[in-house]
Structure formats: C-alpha cells, structure tokens
Amino acid sequence: MANTHAPQGDKYYIPHGSPWPFFGSVTLFTVMLGAVGTMEGAGAGSLILSLGFTMLAVLFIGWFGTVIRENQEGIYNLHVDRSFRMGMMWFIFSEVMFFAAFFGALFYARQLSVPWLAGEGVKGAVEHLVMFQDYAGGWPTNGPEALSPRADGTYEIVPALGLPAINTLILLTSGVTLTVAHHALQAGKRGVLNVFLAITFLLGFVFVGLQAEEYHHAYTELGLQLSTGVYGSTFFMLTGFHGFHVCLGALMLLVVWFRTMKGHLTPERHFAFEAVAWYWHFVDVVWLGLFVFVYWL
Amino acid sequence: MAHAEAHAHDGHDHNHAPAGIGRWLFATNHKDIGTMYLVFALIMFFIGGAMAMVIRLELFKPGLQFVDPGFFNSMTTMHALIMIFGGVMPAWTGLANWMIPLQVGAPDMALPRMNNYSFWILPFAFTLLLLSFFLPGGAPAGGWTLYPPLVLQAGDSFGLTIFAIHMMGISSIMGAINVVVTIMNMRAPGMDLLKMPLFCWTWLITAYLLIATMPVLAGAVTMLLTDHYFGTAFFNPAGGGDPVMFQHIFWFFGHPEVYILILPAFGIVSEIIPTFSRKPLFGYESMVYATGSIAFLSFIVWAHHMFTVGMPLAGQLFFMLSTMLIAVPTGVKVFNWTTTMWRGSISYEPPMLFALAFLFLFTIGGFSGLMLAIAPADFQYHDTYFVVAHFHYVLVPGAVFAIMAGVYYWLPKWTGHMYDLKLATWHFWLSTISVNVLFFPMHFLGLAGMPRRIPDYNVQFADWNMVASIGGFAFGLSQVMFVWIVLKSVRGGGPKASARVWDDTNSEGLEWTVPSPAPFHTFETPPVIK
C-alpha cells in the first residue's frame, strides 16, 4: 500500500461525520420518486429520475472516492479490512437470496402452477375444469390465454445452443482470466495483471452486448417479451437482473483496473480486487443456473 | 477531509460530540445513530398508533360511523406496515446500535458510514409510503401482506408502496450486515461468542434472518411491480402464473420476519430477568441453541399462514408439524426464564415488570399460535379476529413490551439520570391492564366468527368490540406517559445514575463498566475480559 504513514497498530478506524450516506438517502428517494412518476406517466417523472441517476453517479464517485483515498493513506488496518470482507460476503449472500426468489418463481411455475392449470392433481382438476379446459400445460408456456404480442398467441424461445452457449463460454473464460489476473497481482506481475483484468471486463461488456442483441431479437422477431406469459416473465426478469449485475460487476472491474493502472493495490493488500472478484464469480454462478434452468432444460 | 480525519484520529481522544445539525445528518457515532433510530421508531409508533385508534373508533359499535370502508382498509394496511417496518424493526436496530458495541467492548459499529445510511433511508422510505395517502386511489388498502390480485388494483400510489418497501429492505439489510460484522469482528479480546450477553446473540441470529429474507421480499414486491406496470404474468393464471405463488414467496420472508420482530425481545428479557432476580441466567447455552433452532425452523413453516388456499395433504401435515416443533425451543426459553427467577431475590422495578408481563402474555400468544398451527382447526380461525388476537399478543405485550423493558433498563445508562420509577410503574400497570382489555376479547370475537379487516360487523359482536375499543383508547393514552417519563430523564430530571445503574452484581454486560451517561466514545482501547 502506498502509505503516507504507517497503519496505526490495533486502532480501529472510526470515520468522523460524512455527508455521503445522507446524500445517498436523498438520492435513493429521488430515484424512487422519479421511477414512480415515470411509470405513472406523470410529466416531471422522467426529469426527477434523470436527476436521481445523476445524483447516484455523484454519490458513487464521491463516497467510493473517499474510501479509496483513505485506503491509500493507509488508515485501514487489517482489522478494518476484515470488516470490509465480511460486509461484502454478506452482501453477496443477500444477492443470492434475491435471485433465489426469482428462481423459486420459475420452479414453482414449472413444477406446480402450470401443471395445476393443465389439470394435474386434485387442486388442478378444479382449476382446469372450471377455468381452462383446453389448456395442455407443458414448458415453455405463455399460459391458458396464450399471452403474446403476436395476434395468434405464438412465440418462439431462444435456443440454448446459440448465443446463450457462447455467452456461457465468455463468462467462464472471464472467470479464468480474472483468476490469472489475481495470481499476477499476488506475484507482483503488474503487466500481466493489467492486461488480464482488462480482458476480463471487456469479456463482461461483450457478454452484455450479446445479451442486448438476444433481447432485441426476442422482442422484434420471436414474439418473446416480458408480457409473453409466465415464460416471458421469468425469462426476462431472471436474465435481466443477471445482465444488470454483470454490468455492475464489469463497471467495478473497470474501476479496479483504473486503480491498478495507477499503481494501487499490493500483493498483500488488495481487498477491492478480491471483493470484485467474489462478486464476479457470484454473477458467473448465477449465469450457470440460468443457462441450465432457463435456456437449456 | 479524510486526511484531516486520519490525523485527528491519530492524535488524542476528543470525547465530545460535533455541534449543530451535522451531528445528526452526517453521524457516524453508534450512540447518535441509535438515538435517531429510537426517536424515529417512537414517532412511527405514534403515527401507526393513531391509525389503530381510527380502527378502534370505527369498530366501537356496528355500522359505518366515521370513515369509509376504503379508508378503513388503508388504515389496517398502513397500521401494519408502519408498526412492523417503522416501529418495531427500527426500535430493535436502535437498541442494537446503542448496546451491541457497548456489550461486546467495541469502539463503534464496524461500518459506521453504512450505519448512518441504513438509518437515513428510513425517514425517506416512510415519506414515500405516507405520500400515498395524497395520490388518487389513496394509500394501499389490500392488507400489509400485499396479496395479488387485490393489491394490483391499487391506485396511483402502487409504485410508491413498492419502492418504500424496497427502501426499508435496503435499510434493514445494511443494518443487519453491520450487526453481524460488529459481533463477528469487533468483540474485545476474551469476549468469546459464548460469553456474549444474550441480546447480542439473539440480534446476531436476527441479523442472519434479515439478510436471508429481506431480499426475498424485495423479489416478491418486484414481481408485483412488473405485474402491475409491465405486463408480466407471475401472479396471473391467464399467462400460466399463480396468485398463490406470491403467498409462498411472501411468507418465506414473512415467517422469519415474525422472528425478526421477537428474537431481540428474547435477548432483552434474558438480560433483565437475571438482573432483577439477582441470579445468573439459567441455561445460557441452551438459550443460544434454542434461538438458533427457532431461527432455523422459521424457514420451514411458512405455509401455515395459508392453509386455506389449498395445498396437498402432505404439505399441510408437514407445515403443521414443523410449526408445532417451534414450541420446543420456545418452551426451553420460557422454562429457563422461569427457572432463573426460582429462589431469586426478586425486585419489581419497571424493566422487570415489563419483562414479567412479557413472559406471561407472550406465552398466551404462543399458545394461541399453537392452536392456529393445527391445520384443520385453522380452517375455522383463518382470517378471523382470533388471528388478530394471536399476533397482537406476541407483538404488543411481546415485542413492544420488551422494547419498553429495554428502554427502562438502559435509559439511565444513556441519559445518566434515573427516570421516575413510580410513574413508570403506573405506566406499566395501565399498559398491561389496557392491553389485555384490548386484545383478549378479540379471541372471543374470532372464535365466534368475526372476520378481520372489516369496518362493519354483525350486532352479535358489538359488546366485545366496544370493550376492545375502550382498552385500545386506554392503551394508546397510557403511552403518552412513556414519552413524558423518557423526556424527563433525557432532560436531566431525576437522581444521577451510577455506572452499574441497578442494585445487582450479576449482570456481566460490559455496558455496566462505562460511566452513566455513556461517554460519546467508549472502548477506544478494547477492554480485556478475563
């Protein structure tokens, strides 16, 4: 670490007052208010929303900037470092639970609600007879009323062995390149580190680009949209939230890359790198679940 | 700025609080943030309480008197959301902020800026929620459980409700992460996990529950949001979805949530009873294991909230039996508290009185919970006032009494002044009598078949409703005393409190080793525990 003075032994760093958390609360309020206004079609909604996003950018740059500066000054000792590690770990766990809710919805629809609608079991017999006598169920499905943007109620799905397979390869490769970068960081090979870190976030951005391409194809040609029944809902919400997390992860990698280019992070102390690496592997694992359960099976 | 801070910190201790509004807006001190949490919770208790008064006023006699049914439904919905997310949960977090660093010998919470963030999100979240009253369609009125398809028919305020819940969730998750990290990383040398005061233990386990379930609630309400605005079909059978699916996801969050509301109460009671019995807690380790078991079981019982929606027989049996299993660790706790008092030298100061009321009245709520757990019987009780009686018994003389017990226990430590014990004893008796007048008749109403969430009812239910309403008004008014007692102590009334505060040598928490009032910074150099 580029210390301006040595870490002070066992003294735990307690920051004195900071304006960023309060600013963050105002930001969150603005974003949420703007989002509601936009969805409800209120005139000022999108304006407030853009203001909110601008504040969000200021928040991230300001707050994280402060943390990076303090880190460079060497006031975070190993005790503080451990708090950061634990905090990040539990944050990722909360993210896992967020995805679990949507995977739960997918499994529930596939294994329970769709078969019931098609007449399976005691519960199903009633729903089927009373409401949807012609519905055969199966998966994928857009439901008994065949919700679809097309007039005839049809839609097509994205085959697993097209873009999704390529995307799987891309993400898995990015996991490997990130590990190479990590080993290079630990071995003090800054050149290798910078190159492989760059490859990693570039792969991330390529992944997001290909997902965008896939979405465009689905929306314009396949008749597969958010509103295409429960298949469209689970497909886009799961892959959409995942894509959003890839964007975040790639941005975080980019920031870490800027830092390594400036000479930050040492072979011994590089929590920022590790935290982002954990996050990236988490996003990777979620994708494997998506590839198997959303695209493939 | 950071540089200056680093130097300031390197230098001598400066044990004074910053001046002006910045002290509160930019706070990183666990005691200040704890105070803000507690004040916020108190305000929310009164706002939510005012809504409860409207409900009891309308139900005072049969017929529609004061409010229209739509507004009545908004009242029940908002009362619940405000009391749960704005009252009880922030009160627990406030107590955690104040006491956990003091109890484990830490200089502050582990992540002080995030601590400030978790607090300041809350006033904004509840501003969003309360704004919904002023939009076309009014505040959410489909019940706090937000069941589709009813909730999807809300007015323009739907998005506000959902985003307010998102913000509360973000706040809770960050608060919980802070508690976990503080306890796991900031304990003073020698403070082994199994030496920690039980309040720390129960809060640690509560924090795990929060981190695991608040994101699931976020997922559930996100699906509601997209179903409402973007045409997804998660809960729409026409597209292959199922409204019951929401109930499963919601209660997967919702059941652990009720333990989030009560586990810290177990912790507080486990500290107060030994102090005023002048005996160490009986069965400390079994208390810890019982708390862990309750937390584990809370994840596998959720469908007992929805026995009547139709579920396979095997499902009903599983959820019925797993629910009843919770009585075992809960019983361990109740017996341990009772045994702690056995042959103790008991005195009845206000914290002990509230803890004792908790012990008896929470147990009543636990027993009615057992009745509700029996699937075939639940078909009769479901959505009646029996359920209302049950969860109010565990939440009001349960969680809320434990919060008041905790405040009365630690208030002298915070303010440095003993509060008016006589007045607080009056507050106790008025609260305890009125809370029973308020909620006990609801058992009879429910067993007689009165449905919940209705503004009008059959005349056969008139008498007990009137009794309950009288109890409700009395309970509401009694709480004004609480504010008076606390304010008086904060403003320096009453005799000075010693460091140990209570006449007892058994309470081993480190909070009793620092002076009263606790200085702005404590344990900057970690204490060593033998």
Is it the case that residue A4 has pLDDT exceeding 70? no
Same domain, yes or no, for A94 and A184?
Answer: yes
Same domain, yes or no, for A118 and A105?
Answer: yes
Give DSSP secondary structure letters for A148-171: -SSTT-------TTTHHHHHHHHH
At which of A24, A52, A76 does a domain end? A76
Same domain, yes or no, for A111 and A13?
Answer: no
Please confirm, yes or no, whether B156 is among the known catalytic residues.
Answer: no
Whether the Cβ atoms of residue B267 and residue B207 lie closer than 8 Å to each other: no
Chain A residue numbers with beta carbons less than 8 Å from the beta carbon of B226 are: 226, 233, 237
Q: Which among B35, B270, B298, B323 is annotated as catalytic?
A: B270
pLDDT in tens, B466-506: 999 999 999 999 999 999 999 999 998 889 999 999 987 76
Q: Give the model's confidence band at B528: pLDDT under 50 very low, under 70 low, under 90 confident, else very high.
A: confident
Number of domains in chain A: 2
For residues A124 and A107, what is the distance between their CA atoms, to the nearest angstrom? 17
Same domain, yes or no, for A67 and A137?
Answer: no
For residues A95 and A289, what is the distance between their CA atoms, to the nearest angstrom? 14
pLDDT in tens, A61-83: 999 999 999 999 988 989 999 99
Chain B residue numbers with beta carbons less than 8 Å from the beta carbon of A117 are: 237, 240, 242
Do A28 and B22 count as a contact with CB atoms less than 8 A apart?
A: no
For residues B227 and A273, what is the distance between their CA atoms, to the nearest angstrom? 38
Peptide bond into B148 cis (omega under 30): no
Closest partner residue to B233 among A22, A84, A230, by Cβ? A230
Is it the case that residue B197 has pLDDT exceeding 60? yes
Is it the case that residue B306 has pLDDT exceeding 90? yes
Whether the Cβ atoms of residue B339 and residue B285 lie closer than 8 Å to each other: no
Is it the case that residue A6 has pLDDT exceeding 80? no
Same domain, yes or no, for A82 and A60?
Answer: no
**pLDDT of res. A43:** 82
Please confirm, yes or no, whether B172 is among the known catalytic residues.
Answer: yes
For residues A145 and A17, what is the distance between their CA atoms, to the nearest angstrom? 57
DSSP B384: B
Same domain, yes or no, for A60 and A113?
Answer: no
Same domain, yes or no, for A128 and A71?
Answer: no
For residues A141-160, average pLDDT: 92
Q: Give the model's confidence band at B5: pLDDT under 50 very low, under 70 low, under 90 confident, else very high.
A: very low
Domain, as residue range, for A99: 78-296
Look up tokens 């936009």; give the residue. A38
Here the tokens at position A215 are 């979405």
pLDDT in tens, B436-456: 999 999 999 999 999 999 999
For residues A171-185, average pLDDT: 97
Same domain, yes or no, for A292 and A216?
Answer: yes
Is it the case that residue B110 has pLDDT exceeding 50? yes
Same domain, yes or no, for A157 and A257?
Answer: yes
Higher pLDDT, B10 or B503: B503
pLDDT in tens, A251-289: 999 999 999 999 999 999 999 999 999 999 999 999 999
SS3 A74: coil
Measuring CA to CA, which residue among A113, A147, A185 is closest to residue B242?
Answer: A113
> Mean pLDDT over all residues of chain B?
94
For residues B404 and A139, what is the distance between their CA atoms, to the nearest angstrom? 54
Do A101 and B218 count as a contact with CB atoms less than 8 A apart?
A: yes
State the smallest CA–CA distance between residue B299 and chain A in angstroms.
Answer: 13
Is it the case that residue B279 has pLDDT exceeding 80? yes
Please confirm, yes or no, whether B79 is among the known catalytic residues.
Answer: yes
Same domain, yes or no, for A274 and A169?
Answer: yes
Whether the Cβ atoms of residue B265 and residue B402 lie closer than 8 Å to each other: yes
Chain A residue numbers with beta carbons less than 8 Å from the beta carbon of B311 are: 123
SS3 B451: strand
Same domain, yes or no, for A172 and A47?
Answer: no
Amino acid at B413: K
pLDDT in tens, B156-187: 899 999 999 999 999 999 999 999 999 999 99
Whether the Cβ atoms of residue B315 and residue A121 lie closer than 8 Å to each other: no
Q: Which among B31, B228, B255, B279 is annotated as catalytic?
A: B255
Look up tokens 């019987």; give the residue. B377
Same domain, yes or no, for A45 and A113?
Answer: no
Q: Give the model's confidence band at B508: pLDDT under 50 very low, under 70 low, under 90 confident, else very high.
A: confident
For residues B183 and B197, what is the distance between their CA atoms, to the nearest angstrom? 11
Here the tokens at position B368 are 């009615």
Measuring CA to CA, which residue among A133, A85, A143, A156 is closest to residue A113?
Answer: A143
For residues A127 and A132, what is the distance between their CA atoms, to the nearest angstrom? 7
Please confirm, yes or no, whether B304 is among the known catalytic residues.
Answer: yes
Chain B residue numbers with beta carbons less than 8 Å from the beta carbon of A63 are: 113
Looking up residue A20, the CATH number of its domain turns out to be 1.10.287.70
At which of A76, A93, A116 does a domain end? A76
For residues A149 and A231, what is the distance between their CA atoms, to the nearest angstrom? 13
Do A98 and B240 count as a contact with CB atoms less than 8 A apart?
A: no
**pLDDT of res. B18:** 84
Do B216 and A100 count as a contact with CB atoms less than 8 A apart?
A: yes
pLDDT in tens, B243-274: 999 999 999 999 999 999 999 999 999 999 99
Is it the case that residue B17 has pLDDT exceeding 90? no
> Mean pLDDT over all residues of chain A?
92
Domain architecture of chain B: domains with CATH: 30-513 (1.20.210.10)
Do A16 and B231 count as a contact with CB atoms less than 8 A apart?
A: no
User: pTM of the predicted model, to two decimals?
Assistant: 0.94
Chain A residue whose CA is closest to B20: A17
Q: Give the model's confidence band at B200: pLDDT under 50 very low, under 70 low, under 90 confident, else very high.
A: very high
Is it the case that residue A3 has pLDDT exceeding 80? no
Picking from A183-192, A271-280, B9-18, B410-419, which range would have the lowest pLDDT averaged per residue?
Answer: B9-18
For residues B306 and B244, what is the distance between their CA atoms, to the nearest angstrom? 9
At which of A20, A55, A76 does a domain end? A76
Looking up residue A92, the CATH number of its domain turns out to be 1.20.120.80
Do A87 and B181 count as a contact with CB atoms less than 8 A apart?
A: yes
Q: Which among B304, B390, B392, B417 is annotated as catalytic?
A: B304
Peptide bond into B149 cis (omega under 30): yes
Look at chain A and count its residues: 297
State the smallest CA–CA distance between residue B129 and chain A in angstroms.
Answer: 11
Q: Which among B157, B161, B172, B213 is annotated as catalytic?
A: B172
